[in-house]
Amino acid sequence: MLLKRLIPPVMAVLVASAAGCSGGADDTAPPAVRTPEAGAASYTSDQLRQALLSDVAGYVRAGEPESGTYGMLRAIRNFTQLQGQVKLDKPECADAAKALETAGDLAAAPAALTTFAKATGETVTQTLLAVSAQAAEREIERRVPKLCRTYKTKVGGEWSTHQVLEQTPDRHFVGEGSRTVGLVTMSGEVEVNMWFVVFTAPGYLGTVSVYGPKATKGEAERLARDAAGQIERVLG
């Protein structure tokens, strides 16, 4: 039952949902980590944690914020564990709606994460990583292949369908560059939405994800702008 409830967040790589279900994940092997490339920012994970949103109107904080190496954050380790239990009709689309890479250079980056929840089922997650300008640019330039705009997943005999909506008309919508992606998931007769914004400014890469039956692109982008403003005030 728990795994079925997690199908949409797992396939969306929604860190918010993964972070809220940490039981038993401590034994999960962490993603592969490479040494960060030259020029990576010098912010520590503690500094990034202080720059996270402290509150979101209409939501309550779901646990304490996390900080540490990105690849070792509990939410990322949980995702790695759950991902192995999901079958896709298009295996090459496993990363279709992924906000960020969970291995490689980013896995070694200082990072912080916080999650907020609402009684109506929506969750908001913000992540913040200290990365080089080159690493940030790669993430902002990522695009979903046409083949992967629709795909199906199967967990425990139950299929879900997913439609990816890439909305990136202006790369400078948030911060100094951003991309917005949505995911509509149908599990039986239940529809759930997820929208995430990836944005950057000198020294960091951030994401804001909104997940739930009433999640919208507008809310995700508004919260991303709020997050970028908070980061600017704290980190300068």
Domain with 23 in it: 2-235
In the predicted model, what is the mean pLDDT of residues 170-184? 85
The CATH code of the domain that includes 219 is 3.40.1000.70
pLDDT tens per residue across span 33-77? 344 444 444 799 999 999 999 999 999 999 999 999 998 999 888
Contact call for residues 104 and 44 (beta carbons, < 8 A): no
19 vs 140: which has the higher pLDDT: 140
Residue 121 has pLDDT above 80, yes or no: yes
**Verdict on whether the full-model pTM lies above 0.85:** no
Query: Which DSSP helix (H) or strand (E) runs through 12?
Result: none
**CA 136, 138, 143, 144 torsion: positive or negative?**
negative
Q: What is the pLDDT of residue 155?
A: 84
**What mean pLDDT is predicted for residues 173-183?**
91
Give dist(CA 35, CA 234) in Å, integer: 27
* Number of domains, the chain: 1
